[in-house]
Structure 1
Amino acid sequence: MEKFQAAMLLGSVGDALGYRNARKENSATGTKILEDLQKLGGLDHLVLSPEKWPVSDNTIMHLATARALTTDYWCLDDLYREMVKHYVEVLEKLPEHRADPATIDSCSKLKPDNYLLAWHTPFNEKGSGFGAATKAMCIGMRYWKPERLETLIEVSIECGRMTHNHPTGFLGALCTALFASYAIQGKPLEQWGRDMMKTVPLAEEYCKKTIRHLAEYQEHWFYFEAKWQFYLEERKLSEDTESKAAFPDHYDAEERDKTYKKWSSEGRGGRRGHDAPMIAYDALLGAGNNWTELCHRAMFHGGESGATGTIAGCLFGLLHGLGAVPEGLHQELEHRAELLHLGEALHRLSTEENCHACVGEAHTAERACGLLHPDLLKETELLPVAHVSLSLRILKRR
C-alpha cells in the first residue's frame, strides 16, 4: 500500500517540478533549469507548496481517473460513465492549470447525461498529445494482475479515447497503464518496452472490434510502434536478452535535450503520446533507484517536463517508494490527502478481488473479466448456471 500511495504522490511531485519549467515553453533548457535549481539550494531544500509549485492538468486528470476507478461500478460501461462524470466536473478547473487544448475540447464533448453515448468522442486529428498517457497510470494500478490484461487494455484505450481519440494519444495511455502494472508485478525494467510492444497488437485487435470506422485511425497507428521500435533499438533493448540499456558515454542535460527532441514529432520532447512515456521510461532506466538523477532526466529538461515528470514520478513510487525522496517535496504537496487516500483505495481494490462465489461457467467467465457487485455475487450462489451466464452476458464485463 505504501508504494501505491508513493506512486500517487510522486506522480504529482514530478508534475509540480516539471510544470514550473514547462510553463516557460521554449525559453528553458535542461542546462538552465539545473542552474536555476542550484540557485534554489537543490532538491533537498525545495518545499512544494501549492502557491509556489502548483500541479498542472496532468495531476487533475489523473486524480479524476483514479476517483472513477475507486467508485462502486458494476461493469466497465458504468466505469466509463464515472470517468465522463469526473472529467466533466473538472473541466472548469482545467484552463487555470494550463490544460492542453485537446483535453479541454474533448471534455466539452463528453455527454454525461447520455446513457449510451456518454464517452464516445469522434476521431481527433489533434488528439495525439500526452494528456491520455499522464492520466492512465492508475489504471495499471487498479488492473495490475497479469490475468487482468484484457481489462487493462480495454479500460486504458477507452479512457484515452475520451480525451485523445488518436492512436498516438490513446496508445500512450495503454503504455503508461502497462508500465504501472509491470512495476507492481516486479517485471525487470529492461523488459517493459518489449512487453508493451507485444501488447500493442492485442490493442489493435480490440480496436478493430469496437471502432466502426477504423480506416482513419490506421494510417496513424504504426507511427507509435515505429517510434518505440526505433527507441528500443537505440537503447539495445529490442532483443529478448537480459542486457542493460545502452546510454551514450556523454549524456548531460544538453545531450538529453537533443535526444528528446529527436524522439519527438515536433521538436519538443514529451509533447506526444509516444515520447512522453518514452522519456519517462528512459529516465527510469538511467536513474535506477536514484531520485535526484530521475528528476534531472525526467523533470528538468527543455520539453514537456510536467508530463514526463508525472509519469516517471508515479512509476518510481511503485518501484522504490518514498524512502529516497526529500520530505519537503511531498509534505505540503497540493491534493496530498486525496492522493494518499486514492493510493490506498487503488491498492485495496486491486488486491482484494474475490470471485469465489461464482460457480460453473459463470465462475470461469467472471475470473476472466473481474468482479460483480457483492450483492449479485451472493445471489449467483442460488441461481442455475444458465441464469448466471445470462446475467454475465447482460452486464458488460467489469
Structure 2
Amino acid sequence: MIQKSLFRPQTRLRKDETFWSCCCLLFSPPQKVLKVGNESFSPSSKLAASRKTWRKRTPAARSIWRRPLLWSKGLLKKAGFAPSGWSRQRRAASEVAATAAAMAEPGAGRVPPVEAYEAAMVLSGVGDALGYRGGRWEYCTSGPRIAAELEALGGLDAICLEPPEWPVSDDTVLHLATAEGLATGLAGEPLLQELARRYVAAMSDMEGRKPGPTSLLGTSQLRPGEPDGYHIPFNPTGTGCGAAMRSLAIGLRYPHEQDLPTLIQVSVDSGRMTHHHPTGYLGALAVALFGALGARGVPPERWGRALLQTLPLAREYVGTAPAAAENWEHWEPFGEAWARYLASRGLAEGEGPARLPPLADPAERDAAYAAWALGGWAGRSGHDAPMVALEALLAAGPRWAELCARGALHSGDSDSTGAIAAGLWGLRHGLAPVPPGLHRRLEYRQRLLQAARRLHALAWGGPR
C-alpha cells in the first residue's frame, strides 16, 4: 500500500493527469529506488526535495520523476492531501492507485509464443462453433439435454467441427472483423473508422449465423468514412454480450502495462459501435483486459479485481464522450454485479485460490449462471458473458473437456461464453490438449491463424 509519509502537502501537480497517470500506475507498482545515471533516489526523497534542488537535477533525472506515476493527484488524494473540488471520478481513480501494488505480475517481461496467440484465436472459434451447433445448442434451454446429446455423439473426441452442422456463429465473424481491423496496424480515429467499416461489412456474412438484434441495429446506424461515423446513439436496451464476444483480440493487440489507456479507448469505442450501454461495452473492456492479462501471464484469480480497478478509468474516459449523462445513469450495475461475484468466490482482493462451488451437474450450472443473468438467460449480457467464461476458466484449470462443459455447453448464450472462455483458455494452455477434430477443419481457421500472427507481431515484435 502507498504510505502517507511518501507525500507532502505542498507538492503541486498539474490538473489534467489523474486519468492517464492512474492508467500507467494500475499495473506498474512504484519502485522504491530509481537510478538515473549516477543518481539514486526514491519517491520520498524527490517529494521532500526543495524546488531549488529539483531544478538542479539532471534532465534525465527530471524526466524520470515527471512520470505520471508520481504526479498523480489520485495518489495524493489517497494520502489525504488533495484539495477539495475534484470530481467523483478522480476520487475513484485514486483508489486504483492505492491498490495497484497488489497487482504484481509474476509473468512480467515474458513474451508469449506466437502459438499461444494462434490457440487463443482458433479456440475462440472452436468454443463458438461448439456452443452454437448451428443454433441448436445456443437456443437449447437445458444443460442436461446438451450433455446427453454430446454423449450420444461420442463426446468431444468424436466431433469434427466443420460446416454445415458446425459453422461458426456471428461471434467469430465479428471477432474476425475486430482482429483483422487491429491487424492493419492503424491507430486512433483511422482504426475506429476501419473497425466500423468491417462491422458493417460483416453483416453480409450472417446467413445461418443468427446475429443479435442489438448488433444488427448498431451496425445499421454506423456511417464509416464520415466524421464521427463510428458513433451511434445511446441505447437503453444495449446490454447484450455482442461487444464482449468480439473483443479478445483487443487484449492480444494491446497486452502491455503501458497499453492500458489504448485498451480502454479501443474496447469502449468499438463496443459502443453496436452496444452503446455501459453493461454492453464494459463487457468488451472486460474481455479485452482479461486477454491482455492472460498474454502477460497474470493468473486468472487476479483478473476480476483488475477489472474493478479499471472501471473508474473507463468512466473517466466515457465522461469525455457524447451521451455521458445517459452512460453514467446506467453505470453502476456492471461493477456491482462483478463485485458480488468476486466476493462470492473469495477473489475480492485479487488473491487465490478461488472458492468455487463444485457445480458438477449441468443443471446446477444452469441455475448458478441464470442467477447472474439479466432476464434469466445466462451469458446473454455484457456483464455475465465474461463472468461465465472466467468461472469456467477457474474451475477447469488445464482440463479442456471441463472448460467446454462449463463454458460452452450450458443452457444460456453458450456460443458467446464458449468463444470467450475457450479463447482465454487457449492463451494459457495452447492447442495441444484439444482433440484435432475440433479445430483442424474449423470454418475460417486460416483467417484466425493469420490474424493471430499479425497481432502477435504488432504487440511483441517480429515479422510483420
Same fold by TM-score, threshold 0.5 exceeded? yes
* AA matched with 1:103: S
* AA matched with 1:329: L
Aligned-partner Cα distance in 1 for 2:202–2:358:
45
Indicate yes or no: 2:394 matched with 1:266. Answer: no
Contact residue 199 and residue 219 of structure 2 kept, 8 A: yes
Aligned-partner Cα distance in 1 for 2:239–2:179:
22
Which residue does the alignment assign to 1:43? 156
Shift of 1:117: 1.6
Shift of 1:12: 0.4
Aligned-partner Cα distance in 1 for 2:185–2:357:
48
Pick the aligned partner of 1:228 from 328, 333, 338: 338
Contact residue 68 and residue 82 of structure 1 kept, 8 A: yes
TM-score relative to the length of structure 2:
0.74
Indicate yes or no: 2:411 matched with 1:298. Answer: no
Shift of 1:50: 1.7
Contact residue 301 and residue 350 of structure 2 kept, 8 A: no
Indicate yes or no: 2:113 matched with 1:9. Answer: no
Shift of 1:24: 5.0
Shift of 1:61: 0.3
Which residue does the alignment assign to 1:165? 276
- Say which SS state the counterpart of residue 163 (structure 1) adopts: coil
The two structures, once aligned, show a CA RMSD in angstroms of 1.7
**Which structure is richer in relative contact order (CA contacts within 8 A, separation 6 or more)?**
1
Pick the aligned partner of 1:196 from 307, 325, 340: 307
Aligned-partner Cα distance in 1 for 2:297–2:449:
22
Aligned-partner Cα distance in 1 for 2:246–2:133:
19
Shift of 1:28: 3.3
- Say which SS state the counterpart of residue 231 (structure 2) adopts: coil
* AA matched with 2:338: W
Distance change >3 Å, CA 235–CA 335, structure 1 → 2: same
Distance change >3 Å, CA 24–CA 10, structure 1 → 2: closer
Which residue does the alignment assign to 2:105? none
Q: Within 5 A, what are the aligned runs for 1:1-398?
A: 1-20=114-133, 23=136, 27-73=140-186, 75-94=187-206, 96-114=208-226, 116-209=227-320, 211-241=321-351, 243-352=352-461
Over the matched positions of the two proteins, sequence identity in percent amounts to: 45
Distance change >3 Å, CA 21–CA 262, structure 1 → 2: farther
Which residue does the alignment assign to 2:73? none
Shift of 1:244: 1.2
TM-score relative to the length of structure 1:
0.85
- Say which SS state the counterpart of residue 162 (structure 1) adopts: coil
Which residue does the alignment assign to 2:11? none
* AA matched with 2:342: L
- Say which SS state the counterpart of residue 96 (structure 1) adopts: coil
Contact residue 26 and residue 303 of structure 1 kept, 8 A: yes
- Say which SS state the counterpart of residue 165 (structure 2) adopts: coil
Aligned-partner Cα distance in 2 for 1:285–1:268:
21
Aligned-partner Cα distance in 1 for 2:254–2:121:
15
Q: Deviations over 1:196-222 (max 9, x none)?
A: 11001100001112x233221122110
Aligned-partner Cα distance in 1 for 2:353–2:129:
30
- Say which SS state the counterpart of residue 131 (structure 1) adopts: coil
Aligned-partner Cα distance in 2 for 1:274–1:162:
17
Contact residue 303 and residue 350 of structure 2 kept, 8 A: no
Aligned-partner Cα distance in 2 for 1:286–1:311:
15
**Structure 1: 5+ residue stretches without partners:** 354-373, 375-398
Contact residue 118 and residue 452 of structure 2 kept, 8 A: yes
- Say which SS state the counterpart of residue 53 (structure 1) adopts: coil
Equivalenced residues, count: 351
Aligned-partner Cα distance in 1 for 2:138–2:185:
40
Aligned-partner Cα distance in 2 for 1:72–1:290:
35
| Displaced runs of 4 or more, over 4 A | 24-27
Contact residue 21 and residue 300 of structure 1 kept, 8 A: no
- Say which SS state the counterpart of residue 330 (structure 2) adopts: helix
Contact residue 69 and residue 142 of structure 1 kept, 8 A: yes
Aligned-partner Cα distance in 2 for 1:290–1:6:
15
Q: Which has the larger share of helix?
A: 1
The structure that has the greater radius of gyration is 2
Deviates more, 1:93-102 or 1:29-38: 93-102
Shift of 1:43: 0.3
- Say which SS state the counterpart of residue 236 (structure 1) adopts: coil
Shift of 1:250: 4.9
**Structure 2: 5+ residue stretches without partners:** 1-113
Q: Deviations over 1:54-78 (max 9, x none)?
A: 11100000000111101142x3100
Distance change >3 Å, CA 251–CA 224, structure 1 → 2: same
* AA matched with 1:96: G
Contact residue 134 and residue 167 of structure 2 kept, 8 A: no
